[in-house]
Amino acid sequence: MTVLRTNQDLDATRLREVFGIYPSGVVAVAAIVDGVPVGLAASSFTSVSLDPPLVSFSIANASKTWPDLRRAAHLGVTILADHHSAVARQLAGPVERRFDGLSTTATPDGALTLDDGLAQFDTTIYDEVLAGDHTIVLLRLVAVEHTAVAEPSPLVFHRSRFGRVQPG
Ligand SMILES: Cc1cc2nc3c(=O)[nH]c(=O)nc-3n(C[C@H](O)[C@H](O)[C@H](O)COP(=O)(O)O)c2cc1C
């Protein structure tokens, strides 16, 4: 039997470890801002609402990129595929190299998506909700595209490592 003890020290290391037990996909959130591509990798993406069509992700309040990215009229969201583990790391790495070698497309409103992602969303910011040391960003979908084929499968982030969905 598992006993949940009270008065535990829920420090950041322990929380990262326990949050990491829950698997997630990874998206790229990106836009053209002042003529240059700006963006980051996020595993906190989730679908939220059908009417209106909403998705969300959480951004650390310490993010240096978000203050620029949120100025874009539209934001692109790309669901990364299982071959994108290096791309996910790159999109979390040095800002000036995040889009090096990536094949991307921008809408006239500046939403930037990766061409070989599993799905691409054109979005606008619907709301931002401060939530502790993160902000929950609600995005309203303006347009969506997705690959018709079942392969490749999505990139999975689990226990701080990248993996893939095993066919059942
Ligand atoms: C797999 C993966 C998932 C990530 N998910 C998030 C996330 O959901 N929210 C977030 O704020 N940062 C996340 N990051 C970190 C950002 O991609 C980025 O590195 C971080 O925001 C620091 O860069 P910045 O200061 O330019 O924003 C993730 C990084 C990786 C590699």
Q: Which residue has the higher pLDDT, 6 or 14?
A: 14
CA of 1 to the centre of ligand 1 (A): 36
- For ligand 1, is residue 44 a contact (CB within 6 Å)? yes
The per-residue pLDDT for range 123-144, each reduced to its tens digit, is 999 999 999 999 999 999 999 9
Rounded Cα distance between 1 and 97, Å, is: 49
Rounded Cα distance between 121 and 117, Å, is: 10
Dihedral over alpha carbons 43, 48, 54, 58 (to 10 degrees): -30
| CATH number given to 22-149 | 2.30.110.10
The per-residue pLDDT for range 8-58, each reduced to its tens digit, is 889 999 999 999 999 999 999 999 999 999 999 999 999 999 999 999 999
CA of 90 to the centre of ligand 1 (A): 10
* Cis-peptide into 52, omega within 30 deg: yes
Q: 3-state DSSP: the chain helix, strand, coil percent, rounded to 5?
A: 10, 45, 45
Q: Which of 43, 69, 133, 160 to mutate to test the pocket of ligand 1 (most atoms within 8 A of CB)?
A: 43
Give Cα 48 to chain centroid, integer Å.
14
Rounded Cα distance between 10 and 13, Å, is: 8
% pLDDT > 70, the chain: 99
Q: Are 153 and 165 in contact (CB under 8 A)?
A: yes
Please report, for the chain, the start and end positions of each structural domain, with discontinuous segments joined by +: 22-149
Angle CA 100–88–143, to nearest 5: 90
Residue 77 confidence (pLDDT) above 80: yes
Q: Which residues of 93-110 are buried (b: 16+ CB within 10 A; e: fewer)?
A: eeeeebbeebebeebeeb
* Cis-peptide into 152, omega within 30 deg: yes
